[in-house]
Chain A
């Protein structure tokens, strides 16, 4: 029996999902701003806790910025599926005739645009505060640009697995942080290599490869996980 429902092509499906995500972000700006505030505050705790010596700060800057970005991305994941799960639109997403893969890709990409991208744009400021040497800025931002979408995709898998549970925050951290370690290692490695005058293209290529792998496989896992959670 032929379906009577209107089906969209892939591009229209991606655009519609993206549009919805951006509109939602515009209407509840807290979901965008809070991870950024967390990012700034958490980074500024390190000089307060470890001492404000310039040489010390510039030596820990890449690692601190990367780890804090990872935690900020993870904390921002809560807003990706939570409200959709509670008001039932997640079920509609799973039931709709468009391919789930592209809808989820649009959703995660939209989420990255409103949380991940501002975070990347904010890093020069934090680099300045941690007296990161000049040579480190470009590699740091390029690495975060390639790394944060991957972190978003991995976080979305964890969020999809735990969205049905009432208190999922810490469990999400336990699930997602180990899986995001390779991104962290290569991302911070890019900055270290740049500061030591080594070529960074290879490490950036690895980050890109991990992103390509996550882009192709993560939506499948997110979809499977959502089907379990919505049930």
Chain B
């Protein structure tokens, strides 16, 4: 039953399995994205306080949770790489750093453009914003440390250590709102369990957008991982065969 999971640890099987899985992921992601965008931007009612500005949550909130969740994923992969020396875990950790960092930047930018009409300022040194900025710095640091090493394996281990050290930052992000209570509102009731002040016409499209952005994150990580696998395994027979087959198909088409 766990066979498929163990197989994911092998770069070759990861490549084969994602080849089969990718078309589905593309389809589901674009379906969710289109439904979420059309519903969220076109049909969801304006908020009674913020008017149409609130629609930024459809990008802002998912990218924030992906930025944090992506770091947790990277940390798990770093731990797996440190403990069991799984090559695939390091490949995923490596490609997650730039993707997660990008979602972190997206979260900061979208939040800043939401802040201007809502709070009257693009930037404020509030706890949660600041800790998201620190998270971005740590993403950058992890990627920079890895690229500073000439040896792939030393860079991988060093980045893993730094990633795990950076995990101490995540609880600070999580609880920062309680520690330094400032301007930033606490998380609004975007939950199925809490029937909050927001009507379902607003938060159901947010769910679609959340899963759609998560799909985009997964797509980016998987595609980059496949690329990285091909680069690292370029001397193996199966990659050679794969390339040969692609060349053959290209010749036939031409």
Residues of the B chain whose Cβ atoms lie less than 8 Å from the Cβ of A164:
149, 154
- Do A162 and B145 have beta carbons less than 8 Å apart? yes
Q: In the complex, which residues of chain B have a beta carbon less than 8 angstroms from the beta carbon of A177?
A: 137
Q: Which residue of B lies closest to A157 (CB)?
A: B165
Question: Counting CB contacts under 8 A, is A182 at the interface?
Answer: yes
- Which of A178, A221, A228 touches B141 (beta carbons < 8 Å)? A178
Asked if B140 is at the interface (CB within 8 A of a chain A CB), the reply is yes
Return the chain B residue nearest A181 by Cβ. B134
Digitize A206-231: 1 where CB-to-B-CB distance is under 8 Å, 0 elsewhere: 00000001000100010011001101
B162 touches A178 (CB 8 A): no
With contacts A181-B134, A213-B168, A231-B154 known, is A175 near B161, CB below 8 A? Answer: no
| Candidates A165, A179, A213, A221; contact of B149 at CB < 8 Å | A165
A178–B180 Cα gap in the complex (Å)? 18
Check B154–A175 contact: CB distance below 8 A: no
Cβ < 8 Å to A, chain B residues 169-202: 169, 172, 180
B134 near A161 with CB under 8 A, answer no
Q: Is A171 an interface residue (CB 8 A)?
A: yes
Cα–Cα, bound, A178→B138 (Å)? 7
Q: Which of A168, A185, A217 has the most CB of B within 10 A?
A: A185
User: B137: nearest residue on chain A (CB-CB)?
Assistant: A178
Contact of B165 (CB < 8 Å), options: A168, A179, A229, A231:
A179
- Is residue B87 within 8 Å, beta carbon to beta carbon, of the partner chain? no
Query: In the complex, are the beta carbons of A224 and B161 less than 8 A apart?
Result: yes
Interface presence of A24 (CB below 8 A): no
- Which residues of A (141-175) have their CB < 8 Å from a CB of B? 157, 161-162, 164-165, 168, 171, 174-175
Chain A residues touching B, majority SS: helix
Q: Say whether, besides A179-B165, A179-B166, A161 and B172 are in contact (CB < 8 Å).
A: no
- Interface check B157, CB cutoff 8 A: yes
Q: How far is A228 from B134 in the complex, measured between Cα atoms in Å?
A: 25
| Cβ contact within 8 Å between A161 and B161 | yes
By beta carbon, the residue of chain B nearest A213 is B168
Complex: A162 Cα to B145 Cα, angstroms: 8
CB distance from B155 to the nearest CB of A (A): 9
Whether A175 contacts B149 in the complex (CB less than 8 A), given A164-B154, A221-B161, comes out as no
Given contacts A165-B149, A228-B154, A228-B158, contact A221 B164 (CB under 8 A): yes
Produce 1/0 per residue, B115-143, CB < 8 A to A: 00000000000000010001001101100
**B1 near A: Cβ within 8 Å?**
no
20 contacts between A and B (CB under 8 A): A157-B162, A157-B165, A161-B158, A161-B161, A164-B149, A164-B154, A165-B149, A171-B145, A174-B137, A174-B140, A174-B141, A178-B137, A178-B141, A179-B166, A181-B134, A217-B168, A221-B161, A224-B82, A229-B158, A231-B154
Give me 7 other A-B pairs in contact (C-beta within 8 A), A174-B137, A178-B134 excluded. Answer: A161-B161, A178-B137, A221-B161, A224-B82, A224-B161, A225-B161, A229-B154
